[in-house]
Structure 1
Amino acid sequence: MTFSEMTVGDLIDLLSGCDCRAPVRQAMNPFAPMAHRLAQVLESVDETGRTVVYLAEGPAPDAQLGHLPPEVAIALTWQGPVQAPPIRPRRHAGGS
């Protein structure tokens, strides 16, 4: 099985349609979806000699922003849509 990785060019193409003033965040951990503030873009070389770019959160204590909005976790298929239970008629005192 081959896995196609997103390239920097792919990321630039995807970002080109976004508001350039919007903050960049990273969604992490599908089992406990959290949002993280990005602070760094780092370029390195992997064990095969290939250049790799990392998007990293900063060291600030507030880099983890909290839970991911449910609609984002659903769009990532990290959780399914949750529907409210059906509304049942209220019972009244006296049995009716």
Structure 2
Amino acid sequence: MTVGDLIDRLSACDRSTPLRLAMNPFFPMAHRAAQIVEALDEKQKPVVYLAEGWDEDSQLGPLPPKAAVALTWQAPVLAPPRRPRRSACPIGGQ
């Protein structure tokens, strides 16, 4: 993804919506985005980093399940199939 791709995708969003980072697909967590930094990568090509803040509350907790499913980090969880109910009366009883 390029900076232009990110701008295009974000331009469709409400500008007042908080920006969060989703991290670690194996233990999905939400983080508060706080900084944008331009630097050079190992091949001396420009790259932009979006980083979380330094505050203790920058990690917001587990990623909401719907977000993890939308990112395909987790499979949708379906309710187990319904089983026939058991009777409280013994077999043959009243």
Q: TM-score, normalised by structure 1?
A: 0.87
Does residue 49 of structure 1 match 2:57?
no
Query: Which residue of the partner structure matches residue 7 of structure 2?
Result: 12
Q: Distance in 2 between matches of 1:93 and 1:73?
A: 41
5+ residue gaps, structure 1, are 1-5
RMSD of equivalent CA atoms:
1.2
Greater than 4 Å deviation, 4+ residue runs: none
Q: Report how far residue 91 of structure 1 moved.
A: 2.6
Q: Which residue, out of 18, 21, 32, partners 1:23?
A: 18
> How many residue pairs get matched?
91
- Counting aligned pairs with the same residue, the percent is 65
Q: Report how far residue 30 of structure 1 moved.
A: 0.3
Q: Which residue, out of 41, 66, 70, partners 2:65?
A: 70
Structure 1 or 2, whichever has the larger Rg, is: 2
Q: Distance in 2 between matches of 1:68 and 1:21?
A: 20
